[in-house]
Homo-oligomer: A and B are copies of this chain.
């Protein structure tokens, strides 16, 4: 069978994405991490701002601490590399100060453009890593105790840890997870409300992403009243106050 052309290979790579939650622990090739960060740096960034930093957690004790503060996930212990991806509005402030200028960007805009820059760069890194046969996993649970993570990593004012990012050699690969029907995500000219039938169809498709067979269970656990996302609000508010980016 002839090999697929590059665009098809890439679409297949994106389609086959799964977050990897168990790694062999083998180190990745020398120079690979730097190559991945260079790929990340090529991502688009508004006004050449590059409002992000990667903290590569190499020290074993430090990594255990960060893992412990993030729900103690196996993938954080077994990954070859653990990065903490940060919004960084401090470096641009230093660059401006170096030439006698003051930062004029304020918290909400720093959050919007900083999270965007960090996410675009991180996703470039993830796609590049997967093309090399590596596995990755973003760690949103870093938000559970992010003020402590910021202190551990000695992040200055206006640098905010957003997520962990595990990179390594996959030990096992789960099947891909379903996604919402495209009609709920892609709208034409104006926002279109889903019909009750479409909501039922969404639950039916997303059921395959769950162990229980009912998608309500995970989305309730995270997004409903009393769920994890609600619990994270106060911690995130504290983090932003601590790092000088409270809106």
Complex Cα gap A47–B206 (Å): 12
On whether the beta carbons of A189 and B62 are closer than 8 Å, the reply is: yes
Residues of chain B contacted by A9 (CB below 8 angstroms): 6
Which residues in B have their C-beta under 8 angstroms from that of A35? 11
Per-residue interface assignment for chain A, residues 1 to 43, with 1 indicating a CB less than 8 Å from any chain B CB and 0 otherwise:
0000011011101110101000000000000001101110111
23 A–B contact pairs at CB < 8 A?
A7-B133, A14-B124, A19-B44, A43-B123, A44-B136, A44-B138, A46-B222, A47-B222, A50-B179, A52-B185, A54-B187, A58-B188, A91-B180, A94-B199, A96-B223, A98-B199, A101-B216, A103-B224, A103-B225, A109-B230, A112-B236, A153-B191, A154-B190
Q: Do A53 and B191 form a contact, CB below 8 Å, given A224-B101, A236-B108?
A: yes
Interface size of A by Cβ–Cβ distance < 8 Å? 122
In the complex, identify which listed stretch (A68-76, A114-122, A167-175) lies at the interface while the others stay far away.
Answer: A114-122
Nearest CB in chain B: distance from A219 CB, A: 6
A64 interface residue, CB < 8 Å from B? no
Q: Are the C-beta atoms of B48 and A240 separated by less than 8 Å?
A: no
B113 in contact with A112 (CB, 8 Å): no
CA distance A101 to B215 in the complex (A): 13
User: B11 and A191: CB pair below 8 A?
Assistant: no
Shortest 6 CB-CB contacts between residues of A and residues of B: A119-B119, A104-B230, A104-B225, A46-B140, A47-B222, A105-B229
In the complex, what residues of B have CB within 8 A of residue A6's CB?
6, 9-10, 13, 131
Q: Does A244 contact B (CB under 8 A)?
A: no
Bound CA–CA A101/B122 (angstroms)? 33
A197 to chain B, nearest CB (A): 11
